[in-house]
Amino acid sequence: MKETVEVVASVIKKNNLILCTRRPTSKKFPGYWEFPGGKVEDGETKEEALIREIKEESNMKVLKYWPIGYQEVVDEGVYQLRYACIVEPYGSFEKDPDAGEGYGVDKICTVDPEEFTKYVQWGKIGKRLIERAQEIVAKNR
């Protein structure tokens, strides 16, 4: 099996809200809320993938980013490099170009860090990712 790397971003906007994305009903885990990100394409750096995926999935521009950490997702044989980001919108979100093909996202929202668990159900890992992202952003502003 080919090793795959996914870039997953905990995104903190300038006003300190967390960006969450929802998988379309045609995708594995339909309606599942998560953080934007996706696979690194051939010839692409992790940072290029991060910027591309966030733009595709949310129509947001990445202004700054910092790595949070690496994690192996055991059930899927995937390695995920997670980032904390500062973003701003290019314009309004209309549609992820991949959403109709069983990929991408069909909805985005921004939520207060204290309430993100109403959307993203990642338990202790999700809470720690948000805490770490907030620490990194606060340190580097």
| Parent domain of 102 | 4-140
131: CATH? 3.90.79.10
Are 140 and 66 a contacting pair, CB within 8 Å? yes
Looking at the structure of the chain, the number of domains it has is 1
In order along its 141 residues, the chain shows pLDDT tens digits of: 445 556 566 677 777 889 998 888 777 778 889 888 888 888 999 899 999 989 888 889 999 999 988 877 666 667 788 899 999 888 887 777 666 665 678 888 889 988 988 998 888 888 888 899 989 988 987
